[in-house]
Amino acid sequence: MIEQTLVLIKPDGVQRGLIGEILKRFEQRGLKIVGMKMVQASANQATEHYGEEIAEKYGKKVLDYLVDFVTSTPVIAIVIQGSSAIATVRKIVGATYPGEADLGTIRGDFNHTSKVYAKKNDQGHNLIHASESEEAAKRELALWFSIDEIHDYKLSHEEHIL
């Protein structure tokens, strides 16, 4: 099933110059980038992105921390499209806590915080966000992109595999 999903390269990924490396991982898997922009998120946009469920699940302090972090520098917002894109992107990204992410994933290969530090103190500094479900992807895509910012085109290999 062809899906679209949102990826955000967070401030730590932007500041460390990992944009190209991260994009390369998705393209190498045959996924298509159909929208991309650099955005300086507002506090309202970041709060809406993370939602009240973060505050309810982890507390307002965690929500405030994530909002402060995501608004600290520009992020790269990306729309990725492909067969089972949501699950595929999540596999490429790796576990939420970088110290638990497998080698070969974006978080496993590029994050340099220890497992204990990443799990207990710095869950926001994990380089990247990827929508976790179809429902989340639809909500998040609408928050970050207008319909005219998402484009469709054929990749050269699509005629051979679809």
For 155-162, the CB contacts below 8 A with 24+ separation are 155/30, 155/32, 157/30, 161/30
Active site residue 112: no
Geometric angle at alpha carbon 146, from 145 and 150, rounded to 5°: 75
Question: Which one is catalytic: 49, 125, 129, 160?
Answer: 129
Catalytic residue numbers, as ranges: 129
